[in-house]
Amino acid sequence: MTPEPRETQIRGACPLDCPDTCAWIVTVENGEPLSLRGDPAHPYTRGSLCNKVENYLAYARSPDRLLYPMRRSGPKGRGEFVRISWDEALEKIAAVCGDVAKKYGAEAILPYSGSGNMGMIQGIYGAGDRLWNVLGTSRGVYTMCTIAGAYGTGYTLGDNGVGMDPETLCFSKLIVLWGANVLSTHPHLWRPILEARKNGASVVCIDPIRTRTAAASDWHLAPIPGTDAALALGLLHVVLKEGKEDRQFIEERTVGWEAFRERILAFPPSRVAAVTGLPCESIVELGKRIASTRPTGIRIGIG
Ligand code: SF4
Same domain membership, residue 271 and residue 174: yes
Return contacts of 9-18, CB within 8 angstroms, 24+ apart: 11/39, 14/49, 14/53, 14/56, 15/117, 15/118, 15/119, 16/52, 16/53, 16/116, 16/117, 16/118, 17/114, 17/115, 17/116, 17/117, 17/118, 17/123, 17/146, 18/50, 18/185, 18/186
Residue 157: alpha-carbon gap to chain centroid: 17
Query: What span, in angstroms and rounded, lies between the C-alpha atoms of 247 and 141?
Result: 36
Which stretches does DSSP call E strand in 152-236?
Answer: 174-178, 202-206, 219-221
CA distances (Å), 33 to each of 9, 26, 30, 38, 61, in order?
9, 6, 8, 14, 10
61 Cα: distance to centroid of ligand 1 (angstroms) = 19
87 Cα: distance to centroid of ligand 1 (angstroms) = 35
- DSSP letter assigned to residue 274: H
Residue 130 lies in a domain: no
* Of residues 163, 175, 247, 241, the one with CA closest to residue 205: 175
Same domain membership, residue 279 and residue 179: yes
Among 97, 117, 147, the domain-final residue is: 97
Type of residue at 24: W
Same domain membership, residue 166 and residue 245: yes
Name the residue of 42, 46, 52, 184 whose CB sits within 8 Å of the most ligand 1 atoms, as the mutation to test its pocket: 52
Classify residue 261 as exposed, middle or buried by CB count within 10 Å of its CB (0-12, 13-18, 19+): middle
Query: What's the sign of the alpha-carbon dihedral 160, 148, 119, 35?
Result: positive
The reported pLDDT for the residue numbered 107 is: 96
Same domain membership, residue 276 and residue 176: yes
Residue 131 lies in a domain: no
Contact by Cβ (8 Å): 148, 303:
yes
Same domain membership, residue 181 and residue 74: no
203 Cα: distance to centroid of ligand 1 (angstroms) = 23
Residue 121 lies in a domain: no
Range of the domain at 89: 66-97
Name the residue of 17, 21, 22 whose CB sits within 8 Å of the most ligand 1 atoms, as the mutation to test its pocket: 22
Ligand 1, atom 6, lies closest to the CA of: 22
Same domain membership, residue 169 and residue 71: no
Ligand 1, atom 8, lies closest to the CA of: 14
Query: What span, in angstroms and rounded, lies between the C-alpha atoms of 167 and 268?
Result: 34
**Beta bridge partner(s), residue 12:** 24
The reported pLDDT for the residue numbered 185 is: 86
Q: Which residues contact 198 (CB under 8 A, 6 or more apart)?
A: none
Contact by Cβ (8 Å): 24, 38:
yes
The reported pLDDT for the residue numbered 138 is: 92
227 Cα: distance to centroid of ligand 1 (angstroms) = 30
Number of domains in the chain: 3
Query: What span, in angstroms and rounded, lies between the C-alpha atoms of 39 and 41?
Result: 5
Among 53, 82, 97, the domain-final residue is: 97
Same domain membership, residue 70 and residue 47: no
Same domain membership, residue 79 and residue 163: no
Residues with CB under 6 A from ligand 1: 14, 16, 18, 20-22, 49-50, 52-53, 187
Among 50, 76, 97, the domain-final residue is: 97
* Ligand 1, atom nearest to 188 Cα: 1
14 Cα: distance to centroid of ligand 1 (angstroms) = 6
* Ligand 1, atom nearest to 13 Cα: 5
Residue 153 lies in a domain: no
45 Cα: distance to centroid of ligand 1 (angstroms) = 9
The reported pLDDT for the residue numbered 126 is: 65
List helix spans (H) across 199-245: 212-216, 228-241
Same domain membership, residue 166 and residue 81: no
Same domain membership, residue 92 and residue 71: yes
49 Cα: distance to centroid of ligand 1 (angstroms) = 6
Same domain membership, residue 201 and residue 91: no
* Ligand 1, atom nearest to 20 Cα: 5
CATH number of domain containing 31: 2.20.25.90
Residue 265 lies in a domain: yes
- DSSP letter assigned to residue 158: S
Residue 232 lies in a domain: yes
Residue 26 lies in a domain: yes
Type of residue at 142: Y
Residue 23 lies in a domain: yes
Query: What's the sign of the alpha-carbon dihedral 224, 184, 216, 167?
Result: negative
CATH number of domain containing 276: 3.40.228.10
pLDDT tens string, the chain, 303 residues long: the values are 566 667 899 999 998 888 888 999 999 998 899 999 999 999 889 999 998 898 999 988 999 889 999 999 999 999 999 999 999 999 999 999 999 999 999 999 998 877 777 776 666 666 678 888 899 999 877 666 677 777 888 888 887 777 778 889 999 999 999 999 999 888 999 999 999 999 999 999 999 999 999 999 999 999 999 999 999 999 999 999 999 999 999 999 999 999 999 999 999 999 999 999 999 999 999 999 999 999 999 998 875
23 Cα: distance to centroid of ligand 1 (angstroms) = 9
Ligand 1, atom 7, lies closest to the CA of: 49
* Ligand 1, atom nearest to 50 Cα: 2
Type of residue at 213: T
Same domain membership, residue 81 and residue 53: no
142 Cα: distance to centroid of ligand 1 (angstroms) = 23
Ligand 1, atom 1, lies closest to the CA of: 50
